[in-house]
Amino acid sequence: MLMKSTAQSLTEQLAALFSQRIRDRLLAPGARLPSVRQCAQQQGVSPSTVVGAYDQLLAQGLVEARRNRGFFVREGGRAEQAPALSQAVPVPSTIPPPRAPLNATALIRGMFHGISDKPQPGMGVLPQEWLQTTFLSSAVRRFCNAKDMNAFSLQYGEPAGDAGLRRAVSHQLKALAVQAAPEQIITTIGATHALDIVSRTLLRAGDYVMVEEPGWAVEFARLDALGMRILPVPRRSDGPDLAVMARYAQEHAPKLFVSVSVLHNPTGYCLNPASAHRILQLANAHNFHVVEDDTYSHFAPVHATRLCALDGLQRTIYVGGFAKILAPNWRVGYMAAPPHLVERLLDTKLLSTLTTPALLEKALAWCVEQGQIRRHAERIRQRLDSARSRSVALAQAHGCVFAAEPAGLFGWVDTGVDTDALSQRMLDEGYLLAPGALFHAQRTPSSLMRINFATTQEPVFWATLQRLCAEQRQ
């Protein structure tokens, strides 16, 4: 909140507020600032104060004024968009490169910067208090004695990752009907690193890649930064739009399809068997690989349909990790790949990180083998089920509608107003939202937003959201 102060004028405070949001990328390039009158009403200041603040932002080169349109965050040039399909199919084109990484990292930066001490609805991880355990520290201490530390810390580790962790992951995947020998598993610095290794191994700049939409903006941005041409595939409740996939496959010969098949982010949808079989048929017929990102497997039912289980890791590559359920900062992930791709993927890992930290991998392997992670995941699922029920009831009581059946960690909520604009108002209240536009390849206005069920338990958040939505409709 702006306050009268002898140290800094209201104009300077308002300019600093917008400047910080722009620098933190919470206001994306091309975003329109509130009109002078709107901003004055929202911040409780005079229009002349807003004009002065906007003038300061202009002088700093952070915004630009467009005649009869208002003030906009400055942005760079735009890149060529992916070609449209020859026949009318409702599929968006790719996003401008300058926007993708900025918008994709906004939530991450917001988490790091600490918007406020309030629970954050846009967070992508569980609250810290949910993740606190005693077995993690015990596992690390187990391998921190001088003898063990000298054995693996004074030399590079195994290129593919700790053998014990790869055996533990292999055994864990069998419960999901994914048959992967330890030799087919490569550890990584988180699941995102695994996705990046796959992209850098199988793709070259200019290749077409199919990605589900809505989908996580980081994936759009990451592929775009590598020079790939993004083909957004609409995600439905039973899986991706197969007609769109077939058309893309025929017209653009994509090299890869990236899918979050189970507890899809942000909708929570799970792939059904019929769609899974058809996807694999398309992959075989048109010679592309499928990357199955199973980041949320610890929240999902074991019997959920997985492409890698049906395919037997022939055209599919399985990506997983432990950040969501265990320790986000440990950054331990992995991939399971077809035997003929393992060496190529391993070469790419070696070029990017050499090896991965053995201490954390050994500790994690011990946690898996002792059943600690399984029991921890069961407790988290029970707690999340209760939180989801409360969050859904609060959302509906405050006028929100779920665009997808609530499941897993995230909810896909329709607010009825533009959530890009709403997110800026909510920042003033200390809340970081995940607006729907973030989850589309081409950022367009959306009334949807993704919520974290674990961090939306407080009625005050929903009351604030309802109030600002009502104000925005006026």
Residues 216-249 have pLDDT tens digits of 888 998 999 899 999 999 999 999 999 999 999 9
Give the tens place of pLDDT for each residue, 268-287: 999 999 999 999 999 999 99
* CATH (residue range 375-473): 3.90.1150.10
Distances 97 to 104, 209, 217, 225, 336 between C-alpha atoms, Å? 11, 15, 12, 7, 30
> What are the residue ranges spanned by the domains of the chain?
10-73, 131-371, 375-473
Residue given tokens 């604009």 in the structure block: 421
pLDDT tens readout for residues 404-455? 999 999 999 999 999 988 998 998 898 999 999 889 988 788 999 999 999 9
How is 456-472 classified by DSSP, letter by letter? Answer: ---HHHHHHHHHHHHHH
| Residue-level pLDDT at 21 | 84
C-beta atoms surrounding 125 within 10 Å: 18
Residue with tokens 């890149």: 79
Specify the pLDDT at position 81: 42
pLDDT of 31 over the 70 cut: yes
**Confidence (pLDDT) at 67:** 85
Mean pLDDT of the chain: 88
**Residue 175 has which token pair?**
């419960």
What digits encode the pLDDT tens for the residues 378-402?
999 999 999 999 999 999 999 999 9
What are the beta bridge partners of residue 413? 402, 449
Q: Are 46 and 88 in contact (CB under 8 A)?
A: no
What sign does the CA torsion over 454, 457, 462, 465 have?
Answer: negative
Q: Which CATH architecture has domain 131-371?
A: 3-Layer(aba) Sandwich (3.40)
Q: Are 370 and 171 in contact (CB under 8 A)?
A: no
> Is pLDDT above 90 for 160?
yes
The whole-model pTM stands at: 0.85
Q: Which two tokens stand for residue 446?
A: 């959306």
The neighbouring-strand residues paired with 321 are 333
Confidence check: pLDDT of 187 > 90: yes
- Confidence at residue 86, expressed as pLDDT on a 0 to 100 scale: 42
Q: Give me the architecture of the 10-73 domain, per CATH.
A: Orthogonal Bundle (1.10)
User: Which residue in 364, 57, 314, 427 sits closest to 189, CA to CA?
Assistant: 364
pLDDT band at 93 (very low <50, low <70, confident <90, very high): very low
Q: Would you place residue 90 in the very low, low, confident or very high pLDDT band (cuts 50, 70, 90)?
A: very low
Q: What are residue 209's DSSP bridge partners?
A: 230, 256
**Average pLDDT over every residue of 319-343:** 93
Cβ count near 46 (within 10 Å):
13
Q: Which residue has the higher pLDDT, 111 or 168?
A: 168
Per-residue tokens: 230: 């993004």
